[in-house]
Structure 1
Amino acid sequence: MSAESMPDPAIPGPGEPRTPGSRQRGKGRRRRPPARRRKALLVMAWTAAGVVVLGGTGAGVLYFKLNGNLESVDIDQALGADRPEKADNGSQNILVLGSDTRSDGNKELGGGTDDGTARSDTAMVVHVYQGHKKASVVSIPRDTLIDRPECTDTDGDEHPAAQDVMFNSAYSTGGAACAVKTVESISGLRMDHYLEVDFSGFEQLVDDLGGVDVTTTEAIKDPDSHLDLPAGTHTLDGEQALGLVRTRHGVGDGSDLGRIQLQQAFVKALVDQVEDIGLLGNPKKLYDVADTATKTVTTDSDLGSVNSLMSFATGLKGIGPDNMHMVTMPVIYDPADPNRVLLEKAKADQVWTALKNDQPIPDSATAGTATGEAKGVVNAPE
């Protein structure tokens, strides 16, 4: 999910020197050798683009199987014409959600709600600037109290507006279409694309990659997310990685804001892992990862094929971690409920206005806002 980019996960936290005995190894895995960093933005889209290599080497039947794994939703049809105008400056806005919808295995992972409906714990607006050489990523806390607009879901069912409800109620109420409608209502930005990543598939993806290396600068223990990591360097398997990106009680002040900071750091570590293992040189591993990834992601209908994802990812290949600016939507703690946050409207407007005008987000927009106090807890090892 530095002044103008995500904190560099390669830098150990204060008071945490690297020692030969500090690494906690996952089940028999070997530390991968250092590799040259390549540029990437969305891991799922990047992996799907790599699948086309299989189609071009005589493995077309595998390509079509992977294409059949993808699910898509017609956001434009559900939302109709009552939306913000599309930008005419060459920029793009993509809503990325993490959810627990596509697999029964999510119940075993603590996913879903008591009444069986799905939920979304992660929401990021990715703004790709004109020229597609840099991007800003704005995480929206799930616990933000908002006024949810009325919306129509992709089945044609209508859902009334609601006041002072949690942001993630939009998804649990009306799915992808209502989530997009709510984000557009908050931001005033048109979402050009939608990508949803399923949590149980995320777990399998990490396992397919052979784990992801992170360094924790302090111990993280959260029984709710089945996570127990001492301070040090670890190769996280899928279950541990999922626990890390979903924990909120094991870091910082226990709010969703701390979890967002862990998610942003883990995204960087995951990108590094995908790049370092050299998927394009290992067709079997490429297929395993791509099979999981295409079963894991749901897209808007415009991205609902491997070819479309390939074209989309190719257009973003110039964006790397050093020219991504990751922030959290400005919020303040709710005086009436410490488990909820309120939109800090004046500063949030600075964020959305900057993106609408295809400009960098000013530092003043996020200065002094609630943070969750978990920054720097997780880094990617060098």
Structure 2
Amino acid sequence: MTDVGGATATGDGIARRRRRRWLRGTALAAGFLAAGTLACGWVLYARLSGNITPDEAAAAELARYERERPTALVRGAQNILVIGSDTRAGDGNRRYGKDLGTERSDTTILLHLAADRRSATAVSLPRDLMVHVPGCLRGDGRRSEPRFTLLNSAFEVGGSACTIRTVEKLTDIRIDHHVVLDFSGFKDMVDSIDGVQVCLKQPINDKAAKLRLPAGRVTLDGEQALGYVRARKSLGNGSDTERMERQQQFLGALANKVQGSDVLLNPAKLYPLLDAATSALTTDPELASLRGLYQLVRGLRNIPTEHVQFLTVPREPYVYDSNRDQLVEDRADALFALLRADKPVPVTKDSAGSGEKDAPSSGNSPAPGFRGNTAAEDSCA
């Protein structure tokens, strides 16, 4: 009996030792797995953060002119200037034209985020708008002379800092952040979410943009999306007005796709989007990291799509050249005042591609809503 009991006791001890070894091994494996996961997460985080180019030169130039810049009036409200660069430099962009060593802002959008993060208003500024461009630091180290010229030439003269100073003088709105997006990055962003659906009222056959599409609902891949938002002379009436309307409609559809799908909750889809987006961005230093971008966009997740508005600054043909634009002063001033004060901007549905320009308000009657669209609107409806 003693031998049997002793054998049993010995067997129990062996079993306990085996269990302890197994538990230690499991804990060690779990530790290695956790460490590996953290290391992998850190590598991905570092890679995405490293993709973003900080615009140090613009920050230094803006600091030089800090005293003349507007003062932010509402704590928490944010104004971001989004600039679409038409640079042909780099392998991904050369197919869109010859690299002439200069670049202009093909697209300029002032994005206002309300302090309560319950609404957002994106205002397109026409590239052909006549504005006062201040003296700016050129790429060759010299300073340009102030001049009255096209808005998109500010980017060519002095890059993002010159564009920001020009827009601030035009609107008296403090620009808190800026983002410059290039061609190839835009395409990759669209492809990373498997395309974006738009509604075409007429078929498109544009050789210059290499775009051939049927009428109706169409899902555009990155290459098609780029042609769609950039094409000008061969689509519609050939005006920059219609191109801005297409850009606004596409951005609304893009916002719907990202918010309405599982992109934000699916790492397999979110990472390619973040990789494409960060690789395409040049931003002010404060935004030039995943943490900086996250702090900016985390409040956007709760903005209802019907509260994301797109409109074009009120403008009319320039008095000395009908191919250029000038502000409709009273209407534009009213819009800028609402944005400065972080007050709601009344938007009435645009006449969908009419190409009409704004007229000044008459007398002392209340100004009507600004023509535009919301991200929630279906252009096929």
TM-score, normalization: structure 2? 0.76
Matching residue within 39, 42, 48 for 1:66: 48
Looking at structure 2, the residues matched to 111 and 142 of structure 1 have their Cα atoms a distance apart, in angstroms, of 20
Label 1:205 to 1:380 Cα distance change in 2 as closer, same or farther (>3 A): farther
Q: Cα offset for 1:252?
A: 3.5
Cα distance in structure 2, aligned partners of 1:210 and 1:154: 38
Which residue of the partner structure matches residue 157 of structure 2?
173
Alpha-carbon distance between aligned partners in 2 of 1:232 and 1:121, rounded to the nearest angstrom? 27
Relative to 1, partners in 2 of residues 1:111 and 1:136: Cα closer, same or farther, differing over 3 Å? farther
Instruction: Compute the displacement of 1:140 (Å).
Output: 0.1
Task: Name the structure with the higher helix share.
Answer: 2
Corresponding residue of 1:50: none
Distance 1:100 1:55, change over 3 A: farther
1:134 aligns with 2:127: no
Structure 2: which 5+ residue stretches go unaligned? 1-35, 359-370
SS at match of 1:326: strand
* Matched-pair contact (CA < 8 Å) for 2:211–2:224: yes
Structure 2 counterpart of 1:330: 314
Structure 1 equivalent of residue 60 of structure 2: 77
Could you tell me which of 201, 217, 220 is aligned with 2:185? 201
Q: Which structure is richer in relative contact order (CA contacts within 8 A, separation 6 or more)?
A: 1
Q: CA RMSD in A?
A: 3.1
For residues 294-338 of structure 1, give each alpha carbon's deviation from its aligned partner in whole angstroms, at most 9, with x where no partner exists: 101111111111111111111333223211222101111235434
**Shift in CA distance, 282/355, structure 1 to aligned 2, threshold 3 Å:** closer
Task: Determine helix, strand or coil for the equivalent of 2:190.
Answer: helix
Listed one character per residue, the Cα deviations across residues 223-269 of structure 1 (whole Å, up to 9, x for unaligned) are: 33222223122121111100111112244421111111111110121
- Give the equivalent residue in structure 2 for 1:97: 83
**More off after superposition, 102-111 vs 234-243:** 102-111
1:210 has 2:197 as partner: no
Task: Within 5 Å, give how 1:145-184 maps onto structure 2.
Answer: 145-152=130-137, 157-163=142-148, 165-184=149-168
Task: Report deviation, 1:90.
Answer: 2.7
Paired letter, 1:248: R
Distance in 1, Cα, partners of 2:69 & 2:218? 45
Instruction: Provide the C-alpha distance between the structure 2 equivalents of 1:70 and 1:127, rounded to a whole number of angstroms.
Output: 22
Residue type matched to 1:84 in 2? P
Aligned residue in 2 for 1:344: 328
Letter in 2 for 1:97: I
For these two proteins, the number of residue pairs brought into alignment is 323
Amino acid corresponding to residue 127 of structure 2 in structure 1: R
Residue 71 of structure 1 aligns with an amino acid whose one-letter code is: T
Deviates more, 1:262-271 or 1:97-106: 97-106
Amino acid at match of 2:94: K
Residue matched to 1:35: none
The alpha-carbon distance between structure 1 residues 71 and 352, as it changes in their structure 2 partners (threshold 3 A), is same
Confirm or deny: 8 A CA contact 1:100 1:200 kept in the other structure. Answer: no
**CA drift at 1:369:** 6.4
Whole-Å separation in 1 of the counterparts to 2:156 and 2:282: 16
Change (3 A) 1:375 1:225: farther
Q: Distance in 2 between matches of 1:90 and 1:282?
A: 29
Q: Residue type of the partner of 1:264? A: Q
> Which residue does the alignment assign to 1:9?
none
Cα distance in 1 for partners of 2:275, 2:380 equals 28
Of the three residues 81, 105, 108, the one matched with 1:120 is: 105
Taking the TM superposition and a 5 Å limit, the aligned residue runs for 1:1-382 are: 58-74=40-56, 75-79=58-62, 80=64, 81=66, 82-101=68-87, 103-110=90-97, 115-152=100-137, 157-163=142-148, 165-280=149-264, 282-334=266-318, 336-362=320-346, 370=357, 379=378
CA distance in 2 between counterparts of 1:287 and 1:200 reads: 17
Q: Secondary structure at the residue paired with 2:208?
A: helix
* Structure 1 residues 158-208: Cα deviation after superposition (integer angstroms, max 9, x where no partner): 222112x11100011111100101110100011001111111111122122
Whichever residue aligns with residue 313 of structure 1, its letter is: V
In 2: Cα distance, 1:363 partner to 1:264 partner: 14
User: Structure 1: which 5+ runs fail to align?
Assistant: 1-53
